[in-house]
Amino acid sequence: MFYGKQQEHALLVTILIMLEEFYMQKVILNNGVEMPILGFGVFQVPDPAQCEQAVSEALESGYRLIDTAAAYMNEEAVGAAIKKSGIPREELFITTKLWVQDAGYENAKKAFDVSLKKLGLDYLDLYLIHQPFNDYYGSWRAMEELYKEGKIRAIGVSNFYPDRLVDLILNNEVVPAVNQVETHPFFQQKVAKKVMEEYGVQIQSWGPFAEGQKNIFQNKLLAGIGEKYGKTVAQVILRWHIQRGVVSIPKSVHKERMVENFNVWNFTLSDEDMSAIATMDLGKSEIVDHFTADIAKVLNGWKIHE
């Protein structure tokens, strides 16, 4: 059969995506649900057209996990891209999050319906309590019910530090499947990660690139490691997350970066590289400190609807 240059290129891209999907690793959550170890996040992409385009391009690049939140104000755009993609629903893993303002049993149930409607879906793969503030015990009871009714495949939390996570586990029936926390080479969450492992909670990284802070993409140690494998700093960081068993959801609005960030299946960091990156840990966040009074005040005051 004769192919023109464009068709040849399209065929090659399709084959590459199929290969990447084949190699893409998954984690198995504490309820048996499979979750891709690498996904795509859409925080700080509030413009609907830009968000829809970014999610469409991420899906074209091979991502199957999309991470949004009610507070990102872009669930509709994510839903539009999912619909247009034509990808069978069961091949996707869609996460959204319940905002602080909607905490509590009744509010959480309503907020879940609103999110599902905006996304244009009839079930969610993962629903997270976005922040450990307001009546999140009431939220959890609502989420446990939605989970048991089959409307959510897995429920979890985000930004729950060890004390709050363990307290929630000890006082409820369903153990969170996931805890999405800030983690990257500068903030490795070694203690929190151990606690999550002890209780069977999957750690997921937000800000896998430290949101670009501290010139991470120019970091000499990471660049030096990348040179050995012909990989970029971003690819080294994502590979490091994968090898630590951390699910990550890098965000980019540039297709070439989405493709770069997804091309991490064909190399393995040595133990020596992993130990070298371990030395970069500062043991604290420079983005947000969840232990301050200010953060409780700011996040409780952050309204996403009337």
Ligand X SMILES: NC(=O)c1ccc[n+]([C@@H]2O[C@H](COP(=O)([O-])OP(=O)(O)OC[C@H]3O[C@@H](n4cnc5c(N)ncnc54)[C@H](OP(=O)(O)O)[C@@H]3O)[C@@H](O)[C@H]2O)c1
Please report where in the chains the tokens 């133990």 appear, as a residue: 271
CA angle 181/259/55 to nearest 5° reads: 65
Strand 26-28 versus strand 34-36 pairing type: antiparallel
- Catalytic option among 72, 127, 136, 147: 72
User: Is residue 263 a contact residue for ligand X (CB under 6 A)?
Assistant: no
* Residue 155 Cβ vs ligand X, minimum distance, rounded to whole Å: 14
User: Is residue 212 a contact residue for ligand X (CB under 6 A)?
Assistant: yes
Q: Which of 218, 213, 258, 214 is nearest to 238 (CA)?
A: 258
User: Is residue 176 a contact residue for ligand X (CB under 6 A)?
Assistant: no
**Using CA atoms, how far apart are residues 32 and 48, in angstroms rounded to an integer?**
34
- Name the closest residue to ligand X (Cβ): 41
User: Is residue 209 a contact residue for ligand X (CB under 6 A)?
Assistant: yes
Question: In the chain, where do the E strands start and end?
Answer: 26-28, 34-36, 40-41, 65-67, 93-98, 124-129, 152-158, 178-182, 202-206, 247-248
Considering just the CA atoms, what is the radius of gyration of the chain in Å? 19
User: Is residue 99 a contact residue for ligand X (CB under 6 A)?
Assistant: no
Q: Per CB under 6 A, which region of 8-16, 82-90, 253-261, 275-283 contacts ligand X? A: 253-261
Q: Which is nearer to ligand X, 32 or 193 (CB)?
A: 193
Which positions ≥6 away from 22 have C-beta within 8 Å? none
The residue from 101, 107, 159, 285 that contacts ligand X (CB under 6 A) is 159
Catalytic site includes residue 72: yes
* Residue 46 Cβ vs ligand X, minimum distance, rounded to whole Å: 12
User: Is residue 291 a contact residue for ligand X (CB under 6 A)?
Assistant: no
The residue from 257, 265, 290, 295 that contacts ligand X (CB under 6 A) is 257
Q: Which is nearer to ligand X, 5 or 220 (CB)?
A: 220
Residue 293: φ, ψ to 5° = -65, -35
User: Is residue 83 a contact residue for ligand X (CB under 6 A)?
Assistant: no
Residue 141: φ, ψ to 5° = -65, -40
The residue from 166, 253, 276, 295 that contacts ligand X (CB under 6 A) is 253
Strand 202-206 versus strand 40-41 pairing type: unpaired
How is residue 17 written in tokens? 């995506």
User: Is residue 208 a contact residue for ligand X (CB under 6 A)?
Assistant: yes
Q: Which is nearer to ligand X, 86 or 121 (CB)?
A: 121
- Ramachandran sector of residue 102 (left: φ over 0; alpha: ψ -120 to 50; beta: rest): alpha
The residue from 61, 115, 158, 189 that contacts ligand X (CB under 6 A) is 158
User: Is residue 211 a contact residue for ligand X (CB under 6 A)?
Assistant: yes
Q: Which of 260, 290, 271 is nearest to 183 (CA)?
A: 290
User: Is residue 56 a contact residue for ligand X (CB under 6 A)?
Assistant: no
The residue from 27, 29, 42, 203 that contacts ligand X (CB under 6 A) is 42
Binding site for ligand X (CB under 6 A): 41-43, 67, 130, 158-159, 180, 206-212, 217, 234, 249-254, 257, 260-261
Which residues are part of the catalytic machinery? Answer: 72
